[in-house]
Structure 1
Amino acid sequence: MAWTLATALFFWIIAALILLFLVLALRFPETPRKGVLGIETTRGDRLFITLLGSAFLNLAWLGLVDRAQWGALVLCLIFAAGVFRWA
């Protein structure tokens, strides 16, 4: 793997998200809720679903679309908003 600024930034952002969700869990505990998936999810579960889905969306974008990756980022942000709202 080439350790470029973009690669390092990617991992730093994921680490920051995990720390943020740790602080949120300690400061504002929540009860699991049931969404459109039909399973009970917490903030951490929804973050995991978002990260996993975003990885697949980016891979599909690379394989199927001949445009800049910024479009995939926009798609992933929309996907994340949907997961955190309805899942």
Structure 2
Amino acid sequence: MFDWMVWTTPVAVFFSCIALMLAGMTAWEFKSPTVMRKGFLPIATTRGDRLFIGLLTAAYINLAFIGLAGKFAQWFSLEQEPSIWISFVLSMAVLALVMRRG
């Protein structure tokens, strides 16, 4: 069923984290309903809004990193492309920032 996708360890960890976040947010919403608040984002948002915006941002960071990894190796004279774990950590940090301060 999933033969069409290359399931490397970083990809599996990334999607597992997304699934865990969605399950956690659902449980959190049942326990404590969200309220609108204004952070650094230009609109008032709920937790779910911030999660959605953060997940989109994380996905774009990962896609940009994958697309530019070959260029990074060339620009910085690296022997091989940088590890995908760098983009994973960076995207999760941005997601955490959006969730906390957004």
Q: What's the RMSD between the two structures over aligned residues?
A: 2.0
Matched, 1:53 2:53: no
**Unaligned residue ranges in structure 1 (runs of 5+):** none
Q: Greater relative contact order: 1 or 2 (C-alpha under 8 angstroms, separation 6 or more)?
A: 2
1:44 to 15, 23, 48: 48
TM-score of the pair, normalised by structure 2:
0.71
CA distance in 1, matches of 2:92, 2:15: 17
Deviation at 1:13, TM superposition (A): 3.5
Q: Which runs of 4+ in 1 moved over 2 A?
A: 1-16
Which deviates the most, 11-20 or 64-73? 11-20
Which deviates the most, 13-22 or 43-52? 13-22
CA distance in 2, matches of 1:15, 1:81: 15
What is the one-letter code of the residue matched to 1:75? Answer: L
